[in-house]
Amino acid sequence: MIQTCPRAVVRAPPRVSISQASAAHVIADFMNNCCKAGGTNAKAFAREHDLMNVLALCSYPIEAAATRYRVAQFIAPLRERGIEVTVRPLLDGRTFAALYRRAEWPRTTAALAAAALRRVADVWRARKFDAVFVQREALMVGPPLVEWLTTRAQGRPLILDLDDATYVRYVSQSYGRLGGALKWFGKTDELIRWASVVTCGNRFIAEYVEAKGARATVIPTVVDTDLFRPAQPPHAHDAPVVGWIGTHSTYAYLETIFPVLQTLAREFRFRLKIIGGRERVNLPGVEVENLPWALAREVADFQSLDIGLYPLGLNASSPRAWLVGKSGFKAIQYMAVGAPFVVTPVGVCAEIGAAGVTHLTAETPDEWHAALARLLTDEHMRHTLGARGRQHALDHYALPAQADKLAAALRAALK
């Protein structure tokens, strides 16, 4: 008989606006609730309502988009669909923030070792759940030992979630070839082989999974469109704000269009807003506003943009197969807040929205210049594309519809 684990019932947070509470507090409540132990009535409640209990293992904390939008935001919707989820991230927020700072490697190494020991407790904990959901991998390095112990050894079904092409080898910009050696790239193929179901961020990943003989379900990475929505009232800027929001690992893509932005700055007035990526960005000739990424500002930062940037260029560390596996999430975020954007049409980014209707596309420097020049000089086009993008997000990337698909995938793992 499958065992269930007594613990507190996960409750949905109240629907609030950004003006009432920050997104950080809303989503942090998700994590606090789902990680609580105890609750003597939870087991009886689960039996009475035939709840499915799932242990979700994530490498990263709530500050990481994959954990936030592939797992945490589904806790309340899944609870409404009879599925109880307990989330166990490997890293805490502090370690995650220091992960790519070379000066903090000694402390980070010690923190990773401590996190690995805590993960051992999750192996024992897994026996009390109906299934184990792994977001990419349970440990960031080494072979899939934790996954084997929690699923194969204990007979628990494995649901694997892939929102990136983690099966593609690449060279880490921070850790180089040493990072690649520790990464154990063959791990993903093993997990695919063991998984009862693999939830995939796009059809390209799903095709890879199915070619390996596994069952795949496409669930794009989406946002709550009640939270990610156009600013009300719209921002009034003295010059268009052209912006990019990302991480250290994707900043190199933005750098590929820096020459284009410098040329445009000699022709048009605009402000370049860069959030995340690098602490200080100096781009001669361009008015730059550089901010660190912050969870509490995430929605407001997207809402502040008049034009979004989404370049995806090939480089030594990002082969085409890796880019094809990208989920296109930034495009969905732009559309949700009604921001027109320019994107490199590679992989699923060539399929999200409709080019010329919800956004513009560009590959070469000349195409990037032409697309951005059109948006900078045509306010009506910006508003039209943004409104169409918002409607497209509502029609195709609504959270409830994806929650239905995820619930079905989780239950299918038990069959």
Task: State residue 116's pLDDT score.
Answer: 86
Residue 200 φ then ψ, to 5°: -120, 140
Please answer whether residues 270 and 287 qualify as being in contact, where contact means their C-beta atoms are separated by less than 8 angstroms.
yes
Average pLDDT in the 367-390 region?
98
Give residue 169's pLDDT: 77
Strands (E), 230-379: 241-245, 271-275, 287-291, 307-310, 341-343, 360-361
- Does this chain's domain 23-222+398-412 share its CATH topology with 241-396? yes
Rounded Cα distance, 241 and 304, in Å? 8
DSSP assignment of 362-384 = --SHHHHHHHHHHHHH-HHHHHH
Ordered DSSP codes for 42-65? HHHHHHHTT-EEEEEEESS-TTSH
**pLDDT on residue 36:** 39
Is 28 strand, coil or helix? helix
Residues 6 or more apart whose CB falls under 8 angstroms from that of 181 comprise none
| Alpha helices (runs of H) in 212-314, residue ranges in sequence order | 251-255, 258-265, 298-303
Pick the closest to residue 352 from 250, 164, 203, 216 (CA basis).
Answer: 203
- In the CATH scheme, what is the code of domain 23-222+398-412? 3.40.50.2000
Query: CB neighbours (10 Å) of residue 392?
Result: 20
pLDDT computed for residue 374 by the predictor: 99
CB 187 within 8 A of CB 137: yes
Instruction: Give the single-character DSSP code of 51.
Output: -
DSSP 8-state code for residue 12 = P
pLDDT exceeds 50 at position 12:
no
Domain map (residue ranges) of the chain: 23-222+398-412, 241-396
Name residue 141's amino acid: V
pLDDT of residue 314: 66
Which residues have a Cβ under 8 Å from the Cβ of 16 and sit 6 or more positions away? 26
In this prediction, residue 180 has a pLDDT band, given cuts at 50, 70 and 90, of low
| The pLDDT value given to residue 321 | 80
Per-residue pLDDT band at 3 (split at 50, 70, 90): very low
pTM, full prediction: 0.85
185 has pLDDT over 80: no
Residue 119 has pLDDT above 60, yes or no: yes
Task: Write out pLDDT tens, residues 71-108.
Answer: 999 999 999 999 999 999 998 878 777 677 666 667 77
Least confident of 15-19, 154-158, 181-185, 210-214: 15-19
User: What CATH number matches the domain at 241-396, 3.40.50.2000, 3.30.450.80, 3.30.420.40, 3.30.950.10?
Assistant: 3.40.50.2000
Query: What does the angle CA 65 – CA 233 – CA 241 come to, to the nearest 5 degrees?
Result: 60
* Position 278, amino acid: R
